[in-house]
């Protein structure tokens, strides 16, 4: 990629956009303005090329074969683990590859929850959680009789630390919170939340799906016991995500799935589980997506996550200013600093109709409940329209959004 663009002092975002072939096309005869990266981001050529090179020269099953390709594939896979570990500041063995954040959370409710939580134990989550951080705990509630405690949020969609701390009781046994709201863009003070949890002696999981694409992460700084994110939201392919877990927890936990690769020895009488992280990686993993995820992390780091965050903040600030100036447009979420996600509504127009009309204008957004139905209920709406930005978006995409909203208002005027 654009090494030149990066080292030339001022970042050439237009050239960086050129790294993403998918963006160079029309949708319904209009230039594509892709504003749905919070659902799934796009892959740059550097990632696509790495995937092709891997499949051309290196692919075989890992951790098994004695032959050359098996060794190359194993090296590529374990190198990816090292890339992730360096990126988030942890040990290699604390990186578990999963399909995505959803699987990561389910691994924890199974591996930790089923083993260590018991009837009456309380698990704290917040009102703004994604369904992926609600449903697995409800399934555990059915099985074990745990109690879910929901931390309320403010009208502008924030979790206050006092409210979070007030949810803890003597029975609190776990906390699980979202880092950045996929619906509102709220950036939660997870470092302080982890400090509170630890002061109470409670382990805490942080769902970092919407944080990992937009900010540098250091597990020592965040302080979470578990942290999950998905590769496909940070320029990698679908099918690979990460569960970070502190080694001391991972060692004590039950495996998630049983099968090949997660064992040291198997007889019909007894099986000895493998060491971490392999204990949690039963079966042949998604090798190619994991290799692609490592390439995506390298790509993001080449640009620099601080620069990315700065650029995305420029775009979201511009979009917020333009949308706020429009009559009849309602914006959800905090006034202050937020991730590049804007949930909005237009007076007397259902979000689904907004989505269809924007689509016909070349603008891809998401309309619906964003897998946060309890949050929708709290906001008092059945659904919202959501525009989400990445560093490869441009000011022209913001204009396309504004023009599209005007088209909606004209039709429904």
Partner 1 sequence: MTDMRDLYQDVILAHNKKPKNFGRLDPCTHEAHGHNPLCGDDYEIMAVVEDGVVRDLAFDGSGCAISKAAASMMTARVKGKPVDEVLGLIADFRNMMVGEASDETKEELGHLRVFEGVAQLPNRIKCAVLPWHTLNAALTGSEGASTEGENDEWEGA
**Residues with catalytic function:** 371
The secondary structure of residue 275, as a DSSP letter, is P
Measure the CA–CA gap between 89 and 241, rounded to whole angstroms: 16
Nearest residue (CB) to partner 1, 243 versus 408? 408
Contact between 383 and partner 1 per CB under 8 A = yes
Residues near partner 1 (CB under 8 A), total:
22
Contact between 378 and partner 1 per CB under 8 A = no
* Least distance CB 332 / partner 1 (angstroms): 15
SS3 66: coil
Contact between 382 and partner 1 per CB under 8 A = yes
* Helix or strand holding residue 322 (H, E): helix 305-324
Nearest residue (CB) to partner 1, 189 versus 368? 368
Closest CA to 81 of 72, 91, 71, 73: 91
Contact between 411 and partner 1 per CB under 8 A = yes
Nearest residue (CB) to partner 1, 308 versus 346? 346
* Least distance CB 8 / partner 1 (angstroms): 38
* Least distance CB 383 / partner 1 (angstroms): 5
Are the beta carbons of 45 and 1 closer than 8 angstroms? yes
Measure the CA–CA gap between 96 and 245, rounded to whole angstroms: 8
* Least distance CB 26 / partner 1 (angstroms): 9
Q: Hey, which residues between 345 and 364 contact partner 1 (CB under 8 A)?
A: 348-353, 356-357, 360-361
Contact between 123 and partner 1 per CB under 8 A = no
Measure the CA–CA gap between 169 and 123, rounded to whole angstroms: 10
Among 368, 378, 394, 403, binds partner 1 (CB under 8 A): 368
Contact between 377 and partner 1 per CB under 8 A = no
Sign of the alpha-carbon torsion through 191, 192, 194, 195: positive
Instruction: Please report how many Cα atoms fall inside a 13 Å half-sphere around the Cα of residue 80, on the Cβ side.
Output: 30
Measure the CA–CA gap between 181 and 226, rounded to whole angstroms: 18
Contact between 407 and partner 1 per CB under 8 A = yes
Contact between 412 and partner 1 per CB under 8 A = yes
Nearest residue (CB) to partner 1, 28 versus 251? 28
* Least distance CB 31 / partner 1 (angstroms): 12
Contact between 330 and partner 1 per CB under 8 A = no
Contact between 375 and partner 1 per CB under 8 A = no
Residue 367's alpha-carbon distances to 3, 33, 249, 333, 344, in angstroms, are 36, 15, 38, 16, 10
Contact between 40 and partner 1 per CB under 8 A = no
* Helix or strand holding residue 251 (H, E): helix 247-252
Contact between 30 and partner 1 per CB under 8 A = yes
Closest CA to 277 of 51, 60, 111: 111
* Least distance CB 353 / partner 1 (angstroms): 5
Nearest residue (CB) to partner 1, 131 versus 246? 131
Q: The tokens of 313 are what?
A: 């903040």
How far out from the chain centre does Cα 280 lie? 20
Nearest residue (CB) to partner 1, 38 versus 288? 38
* Least distance CB 388 / partner 1 (angstroms): 18
Contact between 175 and partner 1 per CB under 8 A = no
Closest CA to 330 of 192, 204, 157: 157
Closest CA to 97 of 114, 115, 77: 77
Site for partner 1, rule CB under 8 A = 28-30, 348-353, 356-357, 360-361, 367-369, 376, 382-383, 407, 411-412
């Amino acid at each position: 990629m654009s090494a030149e663009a990066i080292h030339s002092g001022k970042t050439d975002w237009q050239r960086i956009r050129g790294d993403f072939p998918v963006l160079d096309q029309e949708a319904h005869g209009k230039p594509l303005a892709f504003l749905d990266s919070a659902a799934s981001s796009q892959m740059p050529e550097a990632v696509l090329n790495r995937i092709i090179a891997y499949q051309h020269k290196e692919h075989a099953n890992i951790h098994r074969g004695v032959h050359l390709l098996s060794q190359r594939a194993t090296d590529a896979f374990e190198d990816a683990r090292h890339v992730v570990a360096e990126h988030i500041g942890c040990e290699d063995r604390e990186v578990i590859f999963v399909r995505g954040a959803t699987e990561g959370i389910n691994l924890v409710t199974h591996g930790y929850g089923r083993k260590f939580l018991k009837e009456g134990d309380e698990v704290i989550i917040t009102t703004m959680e994604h369904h992926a951080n609600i449903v697995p705990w409800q399934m555990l509630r059915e099985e074990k009789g745990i109690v879910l405690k929901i931390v309320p949020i403010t009208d502008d969609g924030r979790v206050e630390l006092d409210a979070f701390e007030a949810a803890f009781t003597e029975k609190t046994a776990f906390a699980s919170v979202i880092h950045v709201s996929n619906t509102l863009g709220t950036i939660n003070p997870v470092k302080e939340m982890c400090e509170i949890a630890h002061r109470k002696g409670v382990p805490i999981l942080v769902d970092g799906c919407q944080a990992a694409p937009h900010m540098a992460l250091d597990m020592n700084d965040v302080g979470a016991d578990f942290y999950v994110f998905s590769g496909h939201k940070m320029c990698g392919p679908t099918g690979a995500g990460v569960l970070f877990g502190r080694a001391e927890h991972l060692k004590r936990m039950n495996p998630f799935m049983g099968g090949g690769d997660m064992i040291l020895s198997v007889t019909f009488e007894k099986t000895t589980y493998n060491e971490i992280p392999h204990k949690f990686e039963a079966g042949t993993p998604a090798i190619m997506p994991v290799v692609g995820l490592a390439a995506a992390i390298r790509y993001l780091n080449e640009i620099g996550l601080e620069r990315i965050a700065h650029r995305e903040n420029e775009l979201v600030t511009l979009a917020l200013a333009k949308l706020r100036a429009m009559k009849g447009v309602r914006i959800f979420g905090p006034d202050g600093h937020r991730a590049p996600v804007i949930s909005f509504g237009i007076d007397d127009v259902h979000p689904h109709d907004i989505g269809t009309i924007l689509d016909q204008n070349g603008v891809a957004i998401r309309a619906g409940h964003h897998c946060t139905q309890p949050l929708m209920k709290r906001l008092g709406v059945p659904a919202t329209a959501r525009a989400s930005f990445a560093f490869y978006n441009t000011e022209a995409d913001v204009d396309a959004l504004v023009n599209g909203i005007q088209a909606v208002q004209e039709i429904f005027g």
